[in-house]
Amino acid sequence: MIGILTFLGFTSLVGIISYLATRSTDETSSDGYFLGGRSLTAGVIAGSLLLTNLSTEQIVGLNGSAYKDGLSVMAWETLAAIAMVVTAVFLLPRYLKGGLTTVPQFLSDRFDVSTKTITSGLFLTGYVVVLLPVILYSGSVAISGMFNVPELLGVSDTTALVICIWGIGVIGSIYAVFGGLKAVAVSDSINAIGLIAGGILIPVFGLMAIGGGSVIEGLDILMAANPERFDSTGEHGQEVPFSTIFTGMMLVQLFYWGTNQQIIQRALGAKNLAEGQKGLLLASFLKILGPIILVLPGMIAYHYFEGGLASSDMAYPELVRAVLPKYLVGFFAAVLFGAILSSFNSVLNSSVTLFGIDIYKQHINKEAPERTVVKYGKIFGICLALAAMFIAPMIANAGSLFNYLQEINGIYSIPILTIIVIGYLTKRVPAIAAKIGIISGSLLYILSQFVLKPRLVDSALAEARGQGITDAAQLAIVEADAYPHYLHVMAALFLVNSLIMLIIGWIYPRKEAFTLQYTEKVDIVPFKYVKQMGLAVVVIVICIYVYFAK
C-alpha cells in the first residue's frame, strides 16, 4: 500500500508541475504547440532528451544484453554522447537557421515536397507499427509485474496487461495531445531527476548485496570474478562487435540523435541556438554515465544469479525485486512509469507534429490557419494513440525486442540519414536522387536482412548441427559468421546510396544551387564553448574505451 501511495503521489506531482509550467503557453499556434513556443532552455532540453530516450524496452533490454555479453554493449550509450556533439556543432545550427519545425521540412526546401512527404510517411509508419505499441506493451509488463496487478485486481495476466496498456496510453495521450511539446518536455525534466536517482539506486543496492553492505567491496568482487566481462571491445559473436563502432553504430546514433523527429524536436524548440547547443552538450555528458543505469545492473545480475536466469531479459526486473528495499518500490515504479510515459508521449507528440505540418497543412488544407492545423493534429494523435493501445496487447516477447528494434529501424533510419547528409553537404543533387536514394535504401535493406540473411543463417546453422555442434555459444559464433552484422550492412548501404545520389547529381544536377536561408525564428549565435565542450566529451569517451580495453 505504501508503494502504491508513493507511486500516485510522485506521478501526481509531475502532472501538477507540468500543468503550472505550461498553462501560459499559447498552444493555438504551430510554434506554441509543436515546439513549446520556441522557449525551451538547456536544462529542459537535456532532461527531455534523456527521458525520451529511456524506456522499459531499453532499461530492461540493454541490461539483458549486458547480462549476456558484458560491458561491450555500452556502445549504445557512449557513442550516443559523440552523436549529440556532432548534432550540436553541425546539424542544430542549420536546423535553427532554417526555422524548422520538423526535419522533413528541410527536405522540402532542399529537394521537393514529395521527398518530404515520403520521409514523413516513413517516420509515421515506424512510429505506429513499431515504437508506440512496443513501448506500451513492455511498459505495461513492467508495471503489472512490479505491483502484481493481476493479484491486486483479481484478474488474469492478460486482463491486467490490457488495463495497464490503456492506463499508460490514456495518461500519455493527455500529456502529448492536449499539452503539446512543452508539457512533454517539462514532465520529462522532472522525471529525469527521479529516474537518474532511482536508476543509480539499483546498482548501488546490487553492489551492496554482493559486497556485504559495501559498494566498493561489491565492485571489487564483481570485477575479480569475471574480468573478461569488463572488456569494452567485447568478444567475437557478441551483440555489438567492436568493429561496428566504426561502421553502422555511429550512423545509427547520428540518425537517432540528429535527425529522428521524436528526439531532435526538443532541440528545435530551443529559445536560441546557444541554449539548444548547451542542452545537447549537457545531455551528452550525462549520457556517458548511462552505462551505470543501463549496463552495470545487468552485469551485477549475472554475478548475483550466477548466470542462471532462464532469460537474459529477466536480469533487470529480477535484480530490482531481489535488492530494492520494499519502501522504495513505489518511488522506483513512479520514475519507471515516467520513463515509459515519456517515450510514449514523445513519439506521439512527434507523430502529431509530422502529420499536422507535413501532411495536413501540405496536402489536405494548405490554407488552414494554425489553430486548425493544431486541432486536426490533435485528432490524428488521438486516433494514433487508440490504434497503438489496440495493437499493443498483440505483441509478444517484448523483453527481447531491444536488438531487434535497432535492426528493423534500419529500414527507414539509414535512407533518411543519407538524404539529409547529402542534402546538407551538396548544393546541386536533385530531388529525383533523394527519392531514388530513400526508396532503394529501404528496399535493399529489407532484401538484405529479411530475405538473404535468414536463408544463409538457417543454412549455416543446419550445417553446423549436422556436424554435431550443439553448444549455444558455438552456434552463436556460427550465426555471426554466416552473414555480416546488420550494423555493417547499414554502413555499406549508406555508402551505396550516397554514391547513387552523387552520381545522379553529377549527371542531372539541379539548375540552381541550394542556399539555406536564415528565417530569423530564433537567434543563431552559437554557444561560446561548444567546440571545446564537444571535444571534451569525445576525449572522455575514447579514454573510457582505452581504459577498459583488454
The residue to which cell 508521449 is assigned: 345
How many domains does the structure of the chain reveal?
A: 1
Amino acid at 40: L
Whether 210 maps to a domain, the answer reads yes
134-179 pLDDT, tens per residue?
788 877 877 777 677 888 888 887 888 889 888 888 877 776 555 5
Whether 328 maps to a domain, the answer reads yes
Displacement of CA 443 from its chain's centroid (Å): 23
Residues with Cβ within 8 Å of 148's Cβ and at least 6 positions away in sequence, in order, are: none
Q: For the ranges 8-17, 48-57, 218-227, 409-418, which has the lowest average pLDDT? A: 8-17
% of the chain residues with pLDDT over 70: 86
Looking at per-residue pLDDT, the higher value among 373 and 255 belongs to 255
Residue 445 has pLDDT above 80, yes or no: yes
Whether 430 maps to a domain, the answer reads no
The 3-class SS string of 152-178 reads: HHCCCHHHHHHHHHHHHHHHHHHHHHH
Using only C-alpha atoms, the chain has a radius of gyration, in whole angstroms, of: 23
Of 18-27, 216-225, 331-340, the range with the highest mean pLDDT is 216-225
State the pLDDT confidence band at 498, using cuts at 50, 70 and 90.
very high
Whether 10 maps to a domain, the answer reads yes
Read off the DSSP letter of residue 525.
P
- Distance CA(149)–CA(144), nearest Å, equals 5
- What does pTM read for this prediction? 0.81
Whether 340 maps to a domain, the answer reads yes
Whether 378 maps to a domain, the answer reads yes
Count the neighbouring beta carbons within 10 Å of the beta carbon of residue 472.
Answer: 6
- Distance CA(453)–CA(482), nearest Å, equals 8
Expressed as residue numbers, the domain containing 266 is 2-16+32-229+261-394+522-548
Predicted local distance difference test score (pLDDT) of residue 132: 82
Residues with Cβ within 8 Å of 313's Cβ and at least 6 positions away in sequence, in order, are: 60, 61, 64, 399, 400
- Distance CA(489)–CA(484), nearest Å, equals 7
Taking the CA atoms of 305, 307, 310 and 311 in sequence, report the sign of the dihedral they define: positive
Count the neighbouring beta carbons within 10 Å of the beta carbon of residue 209.
Answer: 16
Residues with Cβ within 8 Å of 237's Cβ and at least 6 positions away in sequence, in order, are: 473, 476, 477, 479, 480
The residue to which cell 493534429 is assigned: 377
Amino acid at 480: A
Q: For the ranges 1-15, 38-52, 461-475, 501-515, which has the lowest average pLDDT? A: 1-15
Residue 183 has pLDDT above 60, yes or no: no
Task: For residues 337-364, give the mean pLDDT.
Answer: 76
Residue 461 has pLDDT above 50, yes or no: yes
Phi/psi at 468 (5° precision): 90, 10
Predicted local distance difference test score (pLDDT) of residue 34: 46
Residue 1 has pLDDT above 60, yes or no: no
Predicted local distance difference test score (pLDDT) of residue 21: 54
Number of residues written out for the chain: 550
Mean pLDDT in the chain?
A: 82
Whether 480 maps to a domain, the answer reads no
Residue 181 has pLDDT above 60, yes or no: no
Residue 410 has pLDDT above 80, yes or no: yes
Tell me the CATH number at 217.
1.20.1730.10
Under DSSP, is residue 241 helix (H, G, I), strand (E, B) or coil?
coil
Whether 221 maps to a domain, the answer reads yes
Phi/psi at 40 (5° precision): -75, 140
Closest by CA position to 419, among listed 355, 497, 505: 497
* C-alpha cell recorded at residue 370: 494554425
